[in-house]
Chain A
Amino acid sequence: MNFANILNEIAKADPEVFEKTSERRHVLKGLGRRIALTALPFAVGSVFQKAYGKTTDAVIDTLNFALRLEHLEAAFYNKVLTDAMSIIPTPAAVAAFTGIRDHEVAHVNFLTGAISAAGGTPQAMENYDFTAGGTFSDVFTNYDTLLAVAQAFEDTGVRAYKGGAGALMSNNTFLTAALNIHSVEARHAAHIRQMRKARGADVKPWITLNQSGIGSSAVQPIYNGEENTMQGGVQINGIAGGIGAEEASEAFDEPLDAATVLNIVGPFIM
């Protein structure tokens, strides 16, 4: 993060930026040196909001879409840790869900704060149907269904953040924050998948081809496209000995656009 350079880039794009912030110019100069990196999203957001009214709509929309997914995940794990405690078999599993829940709640709070500071209106928590209209009717009474839904949410989250990154390129602070959330979702996904593997599911921490390892076709849209082996015009399948279609697909996760993600999570949102 080079705060001074971000300001310079903005000044190049809009020479009046420093006049718009005139009385805050000394604040800006001090900020770069004094404020801890983790506090920057809020600090940057509030200063820019005063200069510009709001961060670009595309950036706000992307952050709000991420927030919408984080609300869904946070509510899911909260429900797991209240309504489904009796079916969670081990203290280790409770600890894993608790840790993941805490991260999702932290993501909700972080994104809510960032969007507010940038002048946007944060997406509120919605009402959820974690059975997805009955598709996962035993989600909180059958532990394997619970884990399958958790895997579906985490793998969807990874694809959604990847798909949203491009829209944040104009704002390095938010882009980096989103990337730092993205990899945490991938860590969660890997662990949930290992929890499922320990119970006999045919999954690995990474995604092979377009295989969900879940016995419900409802989750297939989450994995469609993951079988891709062409990356940036380079065919990965066969690029070295031992690298076939499976390995090539596992080595690269694929993005999803917001519309596709919304189709996937839509049945869970009332």
Chain B
Amino acid sequence: MKKEMLSEPAVPNLRQSGLSRRKFFGITGGLVAAGMLLDACNKDDDNPSNNTGNTINLGSGDTGILNYAYALEQLEAAFYMQVAMTPYSGISSGEMSLLTDIRDHEVAHREFFKKALGSAAIPALEVNFSSIDFSSRDSVLTTARSFEDLGVSAYNGAGQLITSPDYLVLAGKIVSVEARHAAYIRDLIANGSFAGSDVVDNNGLDKSRSPQEVLSIAGAYLKSSLNANNLPTS
């Protein structure tokens, strides 16, 4: 198969301290939650932009919305990179292949926003996955479902905040892929739940969430603190 693990230089945005522990993950068999390992690795990391306790300002206008999306894609990419590096026990080859696809998509989204934002991009975020048991299929898929459904609602809610038609279309190009991910993950958890009544209402509409609602949920998985106060609200 064409799929291979990302080599370390291929992931410029993620903390090297976490990623360089791939061999260590191999030794521990992925039984230890990744967040704990990332914690343990913090002390020898000297990247000033990642210091815990820093508040990162997303900015305003369309730039702020792009940074908001960039933050979410960083979170998703980091999650699936960990999933691909330390697959949960009992993972099937089909699941491994498509979860690796999803990782690639999220990395592509993350790198797209980083390039599109250029010097206006927020720094690489520190994630906190201490609540996730990466060895457990149930823990991983439940978290993946949360992330994907959250991402769908985030892009749906951000559409009206975007002023550039080009960026609106780009958000649209990404959100439907996130929805495809969400449907796949949900079907892995319970076949037929791809568009369950917990996410699609009686009008057949998916959820949309404001940045504030999204970040209050995503914040549990981030050590970095994000300031969304200057984002557009309408």
Contacts and interface: CB of A to CB of B under 8 A. Distances in A.
A242 B107 contact: yes
Interface string A173-193: 001110111111111111100
Interface string B125-168: 00000000000000000000000000010011101100001111
Interface stretch (B31-39, B52-60, B182-190, B221-229): B182-190
A247 B101 contact: yes
Q: Which of A99, A184, A239, A246 has the most CB atoms of chain B within a 10 A radius of its CB?
A: A184
Given A190-B194, A191-B187, A183 B206 contact: yes
B208 interface: yes
A252 B174 contact: yes
Main secondary structure of the interface of A (DSSP, over half): helix
A206 B204 contact: no
Given A38-B203, A104-B204, A187-B179, A253 B195 contact: no
A206 B177 contact: yes
Chain A, interface residues (CB within 8 Å), range: 35 or more
Contact of B107 (A99, A205, A240): A240
A172 B160 contact: yes
B113 to A, nearest CB: 9
Interface in A55-107: 92, 95-96, 99-100, 102-107
Interface string B71-84: 00000000000000
Interface in A40-60: none
B105 A253 contact: no
Interface string A96-125: 100110111111011000000000000000
Contacts of B11: 240-241
A217 interface: no
Contacts of A100: 195
A99 B111 CA distance: 36
A253 to B, nearest CB: 4
A259 interface: no
Contacts of B183: 186-191, 205
22 contacts: A2-B233, A38-B201, A107-B203, A110-B203, A161-B172, A162-B169, A165-B168, A165-B169, A180-B156, A183-B152, A186-B177, A187-B194, A190-B182, A190-B183, A194-B187, A204-B98, A232-B170, A236-B111, A240-B11, A242-B104, A242-B107, A253-B176
